[in-house]
Structure 1
Amino acid sequence: MAPQSPIQFIEAALWCTGPFELSYTDPDQKWHIRKDMLSLLQDFPNLSPSMDTYVHNDGSIANLLNAHGAIHVSSSSPEVPLTIWLHENYPYVAPIVIVGLPGVAPSPTIHLDHPFVDPSGLTVSPYIQTWEFPRCNLKDLVRNLVKIFSVDHPFSYSPTSSPFTHPSAVSKKEALDRLAGMLHYNTMALRSETDGEIEELLALQQEMDQRVAIVMTMVQGHERERCELRNRVARLTEEADVLINWIKVHDPKRAVAMGEDGIDDVFEGVDEVSKSRLQCLAADLSIEDTIYALDKAVDEGAVNFETYIRQVRILAREQFFHRAEVVKFETSHQFLYNLV
């Protein structure tokens, strides 16, 4: 038996009944499908009609007619395998276009950033998105795909960059396709740039968090130091009160005569060594108070840092000599005590 011609296959498939019956029920719909399929195969003889089971994204199953084969897009690029499934509500619903043959993965692999074809091969061009019957049909759809793939082939990364020199240079639909492709690649570039900026901002945020943690540690350290100084002042004040009360009890006449301002005069050295030791201790404490006052002046901006460093060095050198004298006095006293 001679093989069926495409028209015989299409007619037999559309009016078939039983387990192989297609999901097209309206007779007028079948005539539209027959007409569009024959017109498509006449212009693109490399495509062949077939029928098979199609599973939609929602899991529903339909027996649909399809046209599959390879279309030639340009002399410098490979042919594109294509499968066009006619939806069960065709021609009022756009056909489902897949780059690749039924049951065969597209080879070579579709590049990831194609504006109209996703990695699975599903093709959604502006022509499909704006499908409207009777303005749209299968033949014009494939012609539109040929123009799109000649500019941006699905198997090679070649973003569209054709300039629009004049509106008459290309058709309105072709201009829309190219514009959609350009917008897609511009969006991808902008997204990549935005992702880079986000990564930089995240790194900056992490660095700022680290700096905040360091500053908080410093603030907590200063707070502890302030509390320690406050406790020290309270302790020294308490000790001074105890000392004053002791003097008032044991030597009231002298305490009344000199008042609280002359409390330092209560302590007298019994000899020259004791007097020198008291003078060294007083000088040491006065230098300590001076350095503290310089610290406050630097914090308030009254003294610049260079002047502060220079004065502190001078005072620290002088304080060192006074403390050395005190240590010498204490060492001599301990030596004499051991002799006795």
Structure 2
Amino acid sequence: MVPATPNHQAIQQFLSSVLSQRGPSALPYTEDTKWLIRQHLLSLTSTFPSLEPKTATFTHNDGRTVNLLQADGTVPMTFESVTYNIPVIIWLIESYPRHPPCVYVNPTRDMVIKRSHSFVNPSGLVAIPYLQNWIYPSSNLVDLARELSLIFGRDPPLFSQRPRPSPNPVYHPNQSSLTNSSTSGSVGSGYPRPMVRPPQYPPPSPPYGGGVGKVGTEDAEEVYKRNVINKLVETVHGDMLLLRKTREAEMESLFSAQAVLRRREEEVNKGLKEMRDEMEGLESQLQAVLMNTDVLETWVRQNEGKLKGGMKDIDVDKAFECVDVLSKQMLECTAADMAIEDVVYSLDKAVQEGAMPFDQYLRNVRLLSREQFFNRATAAKVRAAQMQAHVASMAARAPHYAS
């Protein structure tokens, strides 16, 4: 996929090709970060030509596999005034560059990882402060590689398992091999590294910022500068975390207040609806009261003259007379309905006492029920007609009630 000796233009074409792919073969990076990823890798290969961008399959701890970009090759380091190349693989995980990459030391078959290294565990995983204090978007791969070179120079992570023929190897840039370091024995002598007499391990490395006689003043100043920068980065990172927690707490309180306000809004809307329904019910009752008042006032006006005329003896049966056909029909239907109700009650008592055969009781109840049904139906129609007449009468006298 990538030429054996890639130049800058070939790397640009390779990155543009793999980052522009779509569909199932697309790399799992977000679209808004692909351009920044491309720039990081181009800057890395320009500063460290020994690191080559590739695509390979990465296996997560939970067993998931995903196709990711990686920078595979070597990082130069200086140990006791001798330059060595440390094989590493820098994996750009899915959330890169918002989160730091995953860096592994990739020893060959004749190399061994130093025991109890401060920043490299036995599996080769690198955990330096620069990765732990990764800040998007200022952190980048070039500074990461420089930090790796500086830390590995103070405390080399790899050592040879067999003695080297020359105790003072000389670094040549063309010795660094860019082939896939995951193949056993493919690196060979392309990665010079510190040599010690087996089976002893090398003496302890000098402390951070200290010297061993051959470390110049410039290195000490550079180390001091790195320490100050790392301290500032840690302080800013801590302040950012504290500020983020404070803002998250404020947002949680605002969300809680918003939920309370929404619940109260629902209660207010529910109460308003109930009040409107009650108002409509009261308006309906008011209309009925006005209609009954109109009926009573009309009756009083019609019968007021009788009292004034000196009529002392009033027949109760004649006190209420039907003023129209509908009223007379309503009176007759209602009287018939109630009379049938009384007859059915008497029939029930008779059949319970055994004064009437049951079959005769059923025939009489059937006939009476049929007649009662028609009377009730007629009464319902008459009541509806009377209601329409009252409404029309009230509409005609609406200005009178308004005044």
Greater gyration radius: 2
Higher helix share: 1
| TM class, shorter-length | 0.3 to 0.5
Normalising by structure 1, what TM-score? 0.46
